[in-house]
């Protein structure tokens, strides 16, 4: 019995290690590649650790590419989108999570359905609308169009949080003569803080990572966000992709996300499963 047990424990540990390496290796590889100089990057056999780490690659991203501007665009777009979705979404979540009224179910279903919408199915109409409103190639084109996936999702996550808050505090406030808006802002929102963090994080990550609309509604670096920039990084010639810079930029945008995930992992998992499992 004992050797068998030992064998299965070793097997289990090896399996865990294998899965861990599988999950983390591509990111490790991006970090290693981002620190290689051109000779080492384009050399065979491949090296698994940079011989002379070249930190210059990280500076090149900002001097040889307009990456600073792209980061600013992404931060403004994702930040504004998130704040707007949270503000508008918490009103709707309060209505859906607390009040009884005719038509609640169809409204809830409709909002739920929009979260599953393929973005491509509105691309043509959205393009024409954005052109007509004069928003093309601006931050607002993206903030405007990102509402389609951030707002319904935010309403959905926040509604599930509102339902879990006990009613007593609100009722006490109403008895004291507070208006519904006062109740929402003074009583409910503070209690919803964890929900706001969860929904806000997921909305921010969604907006930060979005590609199709950003690709289609921007033409140059005035509004181009990070994902589009990383897809389009170009080198000295058309045939020579600046891989070290692409990997450096990839690391730059991924590290903040990984930090967010590390700090808020419980909340993120709660939000994802609230969204997907509880429905």
Partner 1 sequence: MARRSLSKRQARIAWAFLTPTLLILLVVAAYPLFRTFQLSLYRANLLDYPLRPEWVGLANYAYLVQDAYWWTSVKNTVIFTVVSVALETVLGLGIALLVNARFPLRGAMRTAMLIPWAIPTVVSAQMWRWMYNDVYGVVNDLLLRLHLIAKPLAWLADPHLVLPAVIAVDVWKTTPFMALLLLAGLQSIPEELYEAARVDGAGALQQFAFITLPLLVPALLVALIFRTLDALRVFDVIYVMTGVNPSTMSMSVYARQQLVDFGDLGYGSAISTGIFLIIALFVVLYLTALRVEVD
Residue numbers 89-118 binding partner 1 by CB under 8 A = 89, 91-92, 94-96, 99-102, 104-105, 107-114, 116-118
- Beta-carbon contacts of residue 188 (< 8 Å; ≥ 6 apart): 90, 94, 162, 165, 170
Long-range contacts of range 121-129, CB-CB < 8 Å, 24 or more positions apart?
122/148, 123/212, 123/213, 123/216, 126/213, 126/217, 127/216, 127/217
Which range binds partner 1 by CB under 8 A, 62-70, 148-156, 169-177, 189-197? 148-156
By CB under 8 A, the residues from 54 to 83 that bind partner 1 are: none
Q: Is the Cβ of residue 3 or residue 118 nearer to partner 1 in the bound state?
A: 118
By CB under 8 A, the residues from 234 to 263 that bind partner 1 are: 243, 246-247, 250, 253-254, 257-258, 260-262
Shortest distance, CB of residue 73 to partner 1, whole angstroms? 14
Q: Is the Cβ of residue 62 or residue 211 nearer to partner 1 in the bound state?
A: 211
Q: Could you tell me how many residues of this chain bind partner 1 (CB under 8 A)? A: 96
Residue 184's SS3 state is helix
Shortest distance, CB of residue 216 to partner 1, whole angstroms? 6
Contact by Cβ (8 Å): 77, 227: no
Give yes or no for residue 8 binding partner 1 (CB under 8 A): no
Token pair of 130, please?
């954005």
Give yes or no for residue 22 binding partner 1 (CB under 8 A): yes
Residue 99's SS3 state is coil
Contact by Cβ (8 Å): 142, 213: yes
Shortest distance, CB of residue 36 to partner 1, whole angstroms? 10
Q: Is the Cβ of residue 64 or residue 205 nearer to partner 1 in the bound state?
A: 205
Q: Is the Cβ of residue 56 or residue 179 nearer to partner 1 in the bound state?
A: 179
Q: Is the Cβ of residue 169 or residue 268 nearer to partner 1 in the bound state?
A: 268
By CB under 8 A, the residues from 164 to 203 that bind partner 1 are: 180, 184
Helix (H) / strand (E) containing 173 = helix 168-175
Q: Is the Cβ of residue 80 or residue 119 nearer to partner 1 in the bound state?
A: 119
Of 222, 214, 232, give the one whose Cα is nearest residue 138: 222
Residue 278: CA count within 13 A, CB half-sphere: 15
Of 258, 266, 272, give the one whose Cα is nearest residue 24: 258
Could you give the dihedral angle defined by the CA atoms of residues 254, 260, 265 and 267, in that order, rounded to the nearest 10 degrees? -130
Shortest distance, CB of residue 33 to partner 1, whole angstroms? 6
From the list 56, 63, 182, 273, which residue makes contact with partner 1 (rule: CB under 8 A)?
273
Shortest distance, CB of residue 101 to partner 1, whole angstroms? 4
Which range binds partner 1 by CB under 8 A, 58-66, 164-172, 185-193, 268-276? 268-276
């Amino acid at each position: 019995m004992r050797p068998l047990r030992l064998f299965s424990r070793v097997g289990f540990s090896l399996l865990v290690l294998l899965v861990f390496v599988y999950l983390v290796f591509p990111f490790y590889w991006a970090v290693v590649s981002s620190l290689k100089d051109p000779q080492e990057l384009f050399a065979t056999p491949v090296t698994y650790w940079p011989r002379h780490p070249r930190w210059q690659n990280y500076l090149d991203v900002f001097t040889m590419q307009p990456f600073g501007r792209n980061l600013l665009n992404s931060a403004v777009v994702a930040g504004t989108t998130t704040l707007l979705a949270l503000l508008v979404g918490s009103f709707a979540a309060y209505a859906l999570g607390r009040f009884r009224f005719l038509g609640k179910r169809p409204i809830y279903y409709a909002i739920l359905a929009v979260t599953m919408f393929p973005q491509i199915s509105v691309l043509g109409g959205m393009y024409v609308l954005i052109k007509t409103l004069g928003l093309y190639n601006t931050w607002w084109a993206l903030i405007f169009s990102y509402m389609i996936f951030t707002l319904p999702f935010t309403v959905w996550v926040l509604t599930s949080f509102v339902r879990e808050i006990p009613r007593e505090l609100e009722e006490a406030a109403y008895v004291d003569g507070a208006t519904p808006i006062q109740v929402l802002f003074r009583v409910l929102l503070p209690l919803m803080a964890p929900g706001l963090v969860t929904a806000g994080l997921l909305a921010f990550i969604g907006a930060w990572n979005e590609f199709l609309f950003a690709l289609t509604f921007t033409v140059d670096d005035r509004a181009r966000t990070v994902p589009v920039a990383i897809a389009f990084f170009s080198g000295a010639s058309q045939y020579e992709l600046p891989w070290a810079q692409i990997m450096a930029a990839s690391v730059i945008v991924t590290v903040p996300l990984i930090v967010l995930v590390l700090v808020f992992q419980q909340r993120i998992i709660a939000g994802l499963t609230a969204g997907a499992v509880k429905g």
